[in-house]
Amino acid sequence: METSPKGIENTTRPSLQDIENLASRPLEELIHKADSLRRETYGTSVFIRGLLEFTNHCVCDCHYCGLRRSNTDVARYSLTEEEIEAAIRRGLEKGLGTFVLQGGEDPDWPTDRLCRLLEDLRWKLGDAFAVTLSCGIKSAEEYRRLARAGANRYLLRFETSDPDLHARLRGGISLERRLEAIHDLREAGFEVGSGFMVGLPGETDEIRVKNLKLCRDLDLHMVGIGPFIANPETPLAQAPCGTIEETLRMTACLRILLPDTNIPATTAAGSLVPGGREKMLAAGANVLMPNLTDLEHRQNYRLYPGKVALIRDGVEDLEALRQHLLSEGWKMSLARGDSLAFH
């Protein structure tokens, strides 16, 4: 029988105290445990998703985000259906099995339009590939329609599990509404991803532990986390950023708490420190999302400053990415890479 160090047994429903004990273990120990669990479930494979940032318009006013509606310094864009289709075709030619369509909450992309796009993509390109949507809060009925139209997965981070901090940083939008939407996504049949930022101004150790617990309690299929990075075009311009150490600690804890879940090594970690994404992979992450968005638009998808690219464009140069991953001991996988937690 495996003997885990005290405090990091993988119990089914860990209490807040269990998670607090876990999160306070030495970082190397957490990383070691997370790495071995990840190898048991996903081996050395790293799943690749093509990320398409299709609109940077947003009606929300989150204090941390450069796409917030009050930021007048960002040039707004929205891709056309033709541009989205062309980008997906390019990705398919390279062998990609999953595409993530991410955007702000853009009234020019209502559910009807998204459904028409999805149906058209499925009609023309088939359904061998997975489509992940990440475009905010919608009604339960809208989520059902998007799933029927051909979307398979949905990402909606809860951002922070603390109701007051959530409301304060998201312009009064409640955590409760966010959690209701996550519930609706699950009911609609999506593979569901959520997650949080690490080191938001006002975050405490207790909130970090609650963030982990909420991910565990929601039984997420995918968990996306990344350090908060202060954006000079937002009210949080002067706030200190999250740290890579805390991000790695949270990554390793998530792998231990949710061994089967898909965890991306996120751009924010790579933007905070060189090699940040590689560090996340070593701490239990198993997904990378190279950017498919063309360079002209990408520079305006400014959630935070200093967004790094993966080996030039990543998708333009998948071979370089494969070699890079190999040199770190990982095997690049272009498969759909469904979450084992979903099955």
Q: Which of ligand SF4, ligand 5AD, none binds 153 (CB below 5-8 Å, type-dependent)?
A: none
For 90, the token pair is 């390019």
Among 9, 32, 36, 60, binds ligand SF4 (CB under 6 A): 60
Question: Of 155 and 341, which has the nearer Cβ to ligand 5AD?
Answer: 155
Q: Which of ligand 5AD, ligand SF4, none binds 226 (CB below 5-8 Å, type-dependent)?
A: ligand 5AD
Closest approach of Cβ 132 to ligand 5AD, in Å?
A: 12
- Spell out the SS3 assignment of 152-204: CEEECCCECCCHHHHHHHCCCCCHHHHHHHHHHHHHCCCEEEECEEECCCCCC
Q: Which conformational region is residue 300 in: left (phi greater than 0), alpha (psi within -120 to 50 degrees), or beta?
A: alpha
Q: Which of ligand 5AD, ligand SF4, none binds 68 (CB below 5-8 Å, type-dependent)?
A: ligand SF4
CA dist 158 and 213 (Å) reads 12
Q: Residue count at the site for ligand SF4 (CB under 6 A)?
A: 9
Closest approach of Cβ 307 to ligand SF4, in Å?
A: 13
Question: Of 64 and 154, which has the nearer Cβ to ligand 5AD?
Answer: 64
For 182, the token pair is 């996550």
Among 33, 68, 178, 210, binds ligand SF4 (CB under 6 A): 68
Tell whether residue 156 is a contact of ligand SF4 (CB under 6 A): no
Residue type, 298: R
Q: Are 328 and 278 in contact (CB under 8 A)?
A: yes
Question: Of 97 and 224, which has the nearer Cβ to ligand SF4?
Answer: 224
Among 31, 62, 149, 263, binds ligand SF4 (CB under 6 A): 62
Q: Are 234 and 206 in contact (CB under 8 A)?
A: no
Q: Which of ligand SF4, ligand 5AD, none binds 54 (CB below 5-8 Å, type-dependent)?
A: none
Residue among 266, 244, 254, 255 at smallest CA distance from 213: 254
Binding to ligand SF4 in span 122-141, by CB under 6 A: 136
Q: Which of ligand SF4, ligand 5AD, none binds 304 (CB below 5-8 Å, type-dependent)?
A: ligand 5AD
Closest approach of Cβ 161 to ligand SF4, in Å?
A: 16
Closest approach of Cβ 197 to ligand 5AD, in Å?
A: 5
Question: Of 104 and 195, which has the nearer Cβ to ligand SF4?
Answer: 104
Question: Of 45 and 231, which has the nearer Cβ to ligand SF4?
Answer: 231
Strands 287-288 and 45-48: parallel
Question: Of 10 and 300, which has the nearer Cβ to ligand SF4?
Answer: 300
Closest approach of Cβ 268 to ligand 5AD, in Å?
A: 4
Burial 325-342 (b: 16+ CB within 10 A, else e): beeeebebbbeebbbebb
Tell whether residue 67 is a contact of ligand SF4 (CB under 6 A): yes
Closest approach of Cβ 278 to ligand 5AD, in Å?
A: 18
Kindly report the number of other CB atoms within 10 A of residue 162's CB atom.
22
CA dist 236 and 231 (Å) reads 7
How far from each other are the two terminal CA atoms of the chain, in whole angstroms? 26
Among 105, 260, 294, 338, binds ligand SF4 (CB under 6 A): 105
Contacts of 152 (CB under 8 A, 6+ apart): 130, 131, 132, 190, 191
Chain residues in the site for ligand SF4 (CB under 6 A): 58, 60, 62, 65, 67-68, 104-105, 136
